[in-house]
A and B are shown apart, each in its own frame.
Chain A
């Protein structure tokens, strides 16, 4: 009876109740108007209440669907590499799933914004995303594992493990460039701590 995807405003409800009891109004004489109106009002109120009760029951979750405007957060599939043939090398960080954080894995980004009473968490997240993309692009093909970002006071510490793909002098050039550029960008001292390995450290094959 009622349309499925929109609510009915209360003013319309009262109007429909007036319409349904329309015959009485048409034949009303002028003399007994006041009394008639009062009777009308009370019956209107009763009918409105009845109608809203019915509509609210119909509004419950079982009967309604709202519009989705965002993408679905597939929490079951994020940051997990599924078991496959057995020839795909996977690092420790990639092998363990997000529910292992705090148990078998550490945190990749360390700051105090998520504590009680601290603010700025969202800004830190945006900064982290930028820094990770920046490192991925600047040291292209050299990153052996995810970048760990630590904040100590004012200092932003970027800890990265690199493959020994470039000459040390080239690494130092990129380190000096990154530190200087990010310091000027974020207006805080940025330091890079780098460790190198010969090849990517494989934890297992999935």
Chain B
């Protein structure tokens, strides 16, 4: 303590002497010789003070700024120590084996049933709000109060119209507007513009109510560009929802009633037309706007650029129209934003080779206007250069460049097409067989908030299916299994195609001993009723000879598979036997020396009308010889003769030679021999 005090004192002395020196230096030039003496004495003092240990160096001590932690800092630090648990299912579900979903259909069923329970509760809460009015929460939690679904203001006035617009009741608002006009009260332009916005946004329909359990719960009215695998289901849903711009709808009518539409009204109308597919009308409305010498705004231009590829046919014309629009935008001094860039890039996707040449210039111009690219821009860029189904011509560097730009950054959702990035990137990695970029894409998913941009469950499934197929193709089996154990089934439920890819990967790497484990997973995932998957499994098991314990496990697996083939409780047949699958199964059982089971299976040939192959019977005979069952050998020959197989004589000969037969058996065999000889 004393030393620090003395140090502080020394510091103070240093400081003050420094200050003194500074002051003296300032007045140096004015001083005469006497001043110099003073200065030198102070210098002596200074040097004495300076001969201190190195701690009190001539620099200032910088006291660091006080760090302020947010309220959740401790919780965030604790959370960063915990990683995702690969053995647990999604956080939505209860942690119980009976209640965990095991297949992707169960996943969807359980999450949807939970949602519908919530909707049922919301229905009761909103129908009987008086029981839920008591407010215990301090501070007040508005989302836990019942919603007011009915409009409060009943009289015909502008305030009532504003209220209905706020509650998104399209039809009620339009009716009220008509009533107001009939009553003679004029409605202000602002309110009319709001009404136009409402109608154009919802396309003249009332938005689907969330809380009514009877209706379907898909409210997204955006059109998804990405072709979906389940075309049947998706096509039906989107047909129902994709409203089109009707000929004489309320928006146009109200617009026509306006005496002086301003640019907001035009903007609402054009954007509504483009959203609901009336593209040429949108352009004609735009020419009306220009004729009335009003200025357009940015949203209008964005909508028109989106509509441009729809109104022209050839690539050049499309591009010229877009350039024209951009020039007008510059003339009217409207500043483009990110959505403009994305609209241009999306339009360039439909412009073929023009798109490839113009994409980068557009991006550089936008960057000059300091617009940062979002994931949607990168998606469109990748889609321009990597068309699905087109042969790859050494363009892998674009993906690499994009990944270089994007790695390590955390993105926020700014455009609805941001959610397509990961799927598009993974599709390109799969097409170009680029494992390294695939790992980088997957790593990007773990950065910051990017996991939100993976999309809904369906898109997540597509992403992981592509990732897994790529892994099966490119990586060796250990790496593949590591990913498999990490992601399945906590994040992803593989489809049967992916399981087939996995089996092929096992085959390539000679790890067929893992087949019984994979079979267990296949059963759990609910793919045990896929004919081709099961048959492929059996073929792989029967193909080669392995060591004893592997054969044992194969035999167990084979018996398990047999159970699937047998008819279910109500006689419902899940799978049909084929000759190939039966023979494979029997060979597997024979290789594990399960003669009795194999013998029972042989009977099935007759019952299911299938013909066994020659080599199967030969194999069987060899096994029977090892066991020494003469009766079985003779029965085998009888079965073979029963099927009129061409190899029957050879079989008879073999039995005659290798076995010790009784008289009766010998006679039977010679009869059969004559019979088969005659039939040839």
Contact partner of A187 among B111, B121, B144, CB < 8 A? Answer: B144
Tell whether B483 is near chain A: CB-to-CB under 8 Å: no
B121 to chain A, nearest CB (A): 4
Q: Mark B120-145, 1 if CB is under 8 A from A, else 0.
A: 11101100000110011100010011
Q: How far is the CA of A176 from the CA of B137 in the complex (A)?
A: 22
Whether B117 contacts A183 by the Cβ 8 Å rule is no
Given contacts A168-B99, A169-B110, A196-B98, contact A187 B115 (CB under 8 A): no
Q: How far is the CA of A188 from the CA of B122 in the complex (A)?
A: 15
Whether A194 contacts B99 by the Cβ 8 Å rule is yes
Whether B132 contacts A185 by the Cβ 8 Å rule is yes
Q: How far is the CA of A177 from the CA of B125 in the complex (A)?
A: 11
Q: How far is the CA of A170 from the CA of B101 in the complex (A)?
A: 13
Tell whether A23 is near chain B: CB-to-CB under 8 Å: no
Whether A184 contacts B146 by the Cβ 8 Å rule is yes
Contact partner of A186 among B93, B115, B136, CB < 8 A? Answer: B136
Given contacts A168-B110, A183-B144, contact A175 B117 (CB under 8 A): yes
Whether B144 contacts A172 by the Cβ 8 Å rule is no
Chain B residues, Cβ within 8 Å of A172: 93-94, 99, 110-111, 113-114, 117
Tell whether B208 is near chain A: CB-to-CB under 8 Å: no
Tell whether B118 is near chain A: CB-to-CB under 8 Å: yes
Q: How far is the CA of A188 from the CA of B93 in the complex (A)?
A: 20
Whether A196 contacts B96 by the Cβ 8 Å rule is yes
Whether B136 contacts A176 by the Cβ 8 Å rule is no
Whether A184 contacts B121 by the Cβ 8 Å rule is yes
Whether B141 contacts A187 by the Cβ 8 Å rule is yes
Interface residue tally for chain B (C-beta within 8 Å): 31
Whether A188 contacts B96 by the Cβ 8 Å rule is no
Closest residue on chain A to residue B97 by CB atoms: A196
Q: How far is the CA of A67 from the CA of B604 in the complex (A)?
A: 88
Q: How far is the CA of A196 from the CA of B120 in the complex (A)?
A: 24
Within 8 A of B (CB), among A173-205: 173-181, 183-188, 192-196
Given contacts A183-B144, A185-B132, A187-B136, contact A175 B96 (CB under 8 A): no
Tell whether B156 is near chain A: CB-to-CB under 8 Å: no
B117 to chain A, nearest CB (A): 3
Tell whether A171 is near chain B: CB-to-CB under 8 Å: yes
Contact partner of A180 among B96, B117, B145, CB < 8 A? Answer: B117
Tell whether A164 is near chain B: CB-to-CB under 8 Å: yes
Tell whether B116 is near chain A: CB-to-CB under 8 Å: yes
Chain A residues, Cβ within 8 Å of B94: 171-172, 175, 192-195
Contact partner of A177 among B99, B118, B145, CB < 8 A? Answer: B118
Whether B137 contacts A187 by the Cβ 8 Å rule is yes
Chain A residues, Cβ within 8 Å of B99: 168, 171-172, 194, 196
Tell whether B109 is near chain A: CB-to-CB under 8 Å: yes
A175 to chain B, nearest CB (A): 6
B62 to chain A, nearest CB (A): 41
Within 8 A of A (CB), among B216-232: none
B103 to chain A, nearest CB (A): 12
Q: How far is the CA of A202 from the CA of B93 in the complex (A)?
A: 27
Chain B residues, Cβ within 8 Å of A188: 136-137, 144
Whether A181 contacts B136 by the Cβ 8 Å rule is no
Whether B141 contacts A173 by the Cβ 8 Å rule is no
B93 to chain A, nearest CB (A): 8
Chain A residues, Cβ within 8 Å of B95: 193
A48 to chain B, nearest CB (A): 55
Chain A residues, Cβ within 8 Å of B114: 172-173, 175-176
Whether A164 contacts B110 by the Cβ 8 Å rule is no
Chain A residues, Cβ within 8 Å of B146: 184
Chain B residues, Cβ within 8 Å of A183: 144
Given contacts A176-B113, A180-B117, A183-B144, contact A164 B98 (CB under 8 A): yes
Chain B residues, Cβ within 8 Å of A196: 96, 98-99
A148 to chain B, nearest CB (A): 15
Given contacts A169-B109, A172-B114, A176-B113, contact A184 B132 (CB under 8 A): yes
Whether A181 contacts B124 by the Cβ 8 Å rule is yes
Whether A187 contacts B113 by the Cβ 8 Å rule is no
Given contacts A172-B110, A176-B116, A176-B118, contact A181 B125 (CB under 8 A): yes
Contact partner of B118 among A179, A185, A192, A195, CB < 8 A? Answer: A179
Chain A residues, Cβ within 8 Å of B125: 180-181, 184
Task: Name, among B95, B109, B115, B117, the residue most crowded by chain A CB atoms within 10 Å (CB to CB).
Answer: B117
A109 to chain B, nearest CB (A): 18
Q: How far is the CA of A195 from the CA of B125 in the complex (A)?
A: 28
Q: How far is the CA of A174 from the CA of B99 in the complex (A)?
A: 13
Whether B121 contacts A180 by the Cβ 8 Å rule is yes
A155 to chain B, nearest CB (A): 13
Whether B117 contacts A177 by the Cβ 8 Å rule is yes
Chain B residues, Cβ within 8 Å of A177: 117-118, 120-121
Whether B96 contacts A181 by the Cβ 8 Å rule is no
Whether B96 contacts A195 by the Cβ 8 Å rule is yes
5 additional A-B residue pairs with CB within 8 Å, beyond A168-B99, A168-B110, A181-B121: A175-B114, A175-B117, A180-B121, A185-B131, A185-B132
Enumerate 12 A-B pairs (CB-CB under 8 Å) in ascending A order: A172-B110, A172-B113, A172-B117, A173-B114, A174-B117, A175-B117, A176-B115, A179-B118, A181-B125, A185-B132, A187-B135, A193-B95
